[in-house]
Amino acid sequence: MSKLVSDIRRRVWYIEARACSDGDYASEDAASMGSGVLVEIEHRDEPRRVRRYLLTCAHVVRRKDPLSGGWGGPVYDEILCWRPGQGYTRTYKDKRRCGEHPDIYRATLSSLSPCGGAAAALPDALRTAPNDWVLLDIDDPAFQNEGSPVRWAGIEDGAPVRIVGYPGGAGLSQHAAGTRIWVNGSLVENLATGPFSQERTPEPGMLSLSGVDETRPGMSGGGIFDEDGALVGLHRAADDGAMQRNAIAITHIRDALDTGRNAWPTTPTAPPLVSPWIMRALATVVVVALVAAGIWQFTRPRDCRLEVRVSASTPGRAARVIDVVRADGLTRSEVLTPSGAAELALPRMAAREHWQFSLRFDDSASRPVDMTGCPRAQGDYELEDAHVVLAPN
């Protein structure tokens, strides 16, 4: 198995939803089984905060409507969440109170969901495929340090994807055709299927999947990932429970969070140890410091050493001395060798400091040439009866 597939499998959790029986005991069999993806969302309303959730399909945690038979009924009494690779804990008849489970995370619906967190049956306007998603909120503070949330991304039509989920689930007391059960301590393991190709459908916010691999009940709410491991969609099921190869585009969910809830997915690589606002302030300070250091590096005074080569334009007339006058009035003179060469040191020359140089002949001096800072490249200058080359050394 590739490292990429292994990484994305660690981000997909197993979810069971149960009804409570008489006496508030949890039912032995899960009423619904599905998958969920670990995500992190930034709340941009005050107080601004970052929080982790499990993203899954709404029909995974809701009862069927008693009138229509379709999804969208009230939320089940209990939603349990297992991290991938965790040991499974079975529920036995009349052995555990509903909502009481010492080893497994219990979840409720987040107010960021299309239903606003309401547990009642959905209105007809929300019983559409693009609205078949919820964010599960887990109160246990330890959940905020679980795993590593995924990166969200859009995808081009035809690009290959993989689906990760829990086919068939395992929260049953008896075997069903094509399924298995988990006993106490069994590792909760998901499956990566595909590759599939995908394309957008006429229904806004939806993707259609095609490929030779299969998907099965229990993978509803599983993540659809691109070749870079980014989350691009959420797998869902048809009303009759048979898996359809379709998905909710993650960009649709992202935009719904943005416009409807003023929230946005983050892409962390580790649990936030410090408030993200403090981290942003520190990042700003670091950027300002780096910019200031760059400016200082460019403008700071530095020692400048020039190689001077002078050739006479008029035969028989040679320059003897090169003179430099700096802005503060200091004069530096260097006698040229018989071949017309010299090295000239200008200590602590500022980047924009103005200075002049000129030549002295036996009988006269040339006009001065204005300069600024240390030359960074070779410069050629015509000075009366001589040709001067200044080059950094």
Per-block mean pLDDT, blocks of 10 residues, the chain (393 long): 83 91 78 93 90 96 87 93 86 80 90 95 93 96 91 89 80 52 72 79 84 67 92 73 70 94 75 54 82 68 82 83 85 85 82 85 87 83 84 73
Contact, 127 vs 120, CB < 8 A?
Answer: no
Tokens of 150: 């995924």
Contact, 388 vs 307, CB < 8 A?
Answer: no
Q: How far is CA 307 from CA 197, 317, 340, 353, 354, in A?
A: 66, 21, 11, 19, 19
Q: How far is CA 163 from CA 59, 196, 198, 218, 226, in A?
A: 18, 8, 11, 12, 9
Query: Whose structure tokens read 């050493």?
Result: 305
Q: What are phi and psi of 82, to 5 degrees?
A: -110, 130
In this predicted structure, what is the pLDDT of residue 273?
42
- Outline where 225-329 has alpha helix (H): 250-261, 276-299
110 exposed, middle or buried (CB, 10 Å; 0-12, 13-18, 19+)?
buried
Q: What are phi and psi of 261, to 5 degrees?
A: -130, 0
In this predicted structure, what is the pLDDT of residue 120?
94
Question: What dihedral angle (degrees, nearest 10) is formed by the CA atoms of 139, 140, 142, 146?
Answer: -60
pTM of the predicted model over 0.75: no
Q: Which residues contact 193 (CB under 8 A, 6 or more apart)?
A: 162, 163, 164, 167, 213, 214, 215, 219
In this predicted structure, what is the pLDDT of residue 393?
65
Q: Which domains does the chain have, with CATH numbers?
A: 3-269 (2.40.10.120), 302-392 (2.60.40.150)
Residue 156's nearest CA partner among 116, 206, 198, 98 is: 198
Q: How far apart are CA 99 and CA 22, in angstroms?
A: 14
